[in-house]
């Protein structure tokens, strides 16, 4: 299992409400983008930390690998400059109440924030990057700070039901 961090600035409501993540395959100019390409690396069972407005608001389990998919209709004009061909990963999200406010745990996270391709700055501010790989030691800090450890048990039970 891998850990991923998705920055869902513009499409949080649509993605979480619809149970998926979606990104274009390339930048608008056709150039490859590491954070979009990461969508093709997600596997069923991977853990997703959903970041929106300064906090991890949901934790999820990937219910599919990344598949080729057109831009969701429900995005409307959001991302109007994005390419319409993209990657889609189905995700079962669990709302965290309260969420994990990153600036409150930034000193714990700082030693584990990757130097390259990090989802957040050393100050705890979200970066303009869609999907980032999360090192295990950084994921451990996030999991340790979950407000309710039952959320992880519930997610793992959802995954085991899919395979039973």
Write the DSSP symbol of residue 138. Answer: H
Residue-wise pLDDT tens digits, 13-65 = 999 999 999 999 999 899 999 999 999 999 999 999 999 999 999 999 999 99
Is residue 149 predicted with pLDDT exceeding 90? no
Task: Give the model's pLDDT for residue 39.
Answer: 98
**Sorting pLDDT into bands at 50, 70 and 90, what band is 81?**
confident
Residue 80 CB neighbour total at 10 angstroms = 8
Average pLDDT, the chain: 92
Domains defined for the chain, CATH in brackets: 3-152 (3.10.590.10)
Entry pTM? 0.92
Phi, then psi, of 110 in degrees rounded to 5: -50, -45
Per cent of the chain over pLDDT 90 is 82
């Amino acid at each position: 299992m891998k850990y991923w961090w998705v920055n869902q600035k513009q499409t949080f409501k649509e993605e979480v409400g619809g149970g998926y993540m979606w990104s274009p395959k390339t930048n608008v100019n056709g150039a490859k983008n590491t954070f979009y390409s990461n969508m093709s690396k997600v596997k069923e069972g991977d853990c997703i930390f959903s970041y929106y407005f300064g906090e991890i608001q949901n934790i999820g389990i990937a219910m599919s690998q990344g598949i080729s998919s057109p831009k969701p209709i429900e995005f409307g004009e959001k991302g109007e400059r994005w390419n319409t061909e993209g990657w889609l990963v189905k995700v079962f999200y669990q709302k965290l109440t309260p969420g994990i406010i990153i600036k409150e745990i930034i000193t714990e996270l700082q030693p584990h924030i990757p130097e390259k391709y990090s989802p957040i700055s050393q100050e705890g501010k979200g970066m303009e990057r869609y999907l980032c790989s999360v090192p295990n030691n950084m994921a451990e800090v996030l999991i340790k700070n979950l407000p309710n450890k039952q959320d992880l048990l519930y997610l793992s039970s959802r995954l085991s039901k899919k395979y039973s």
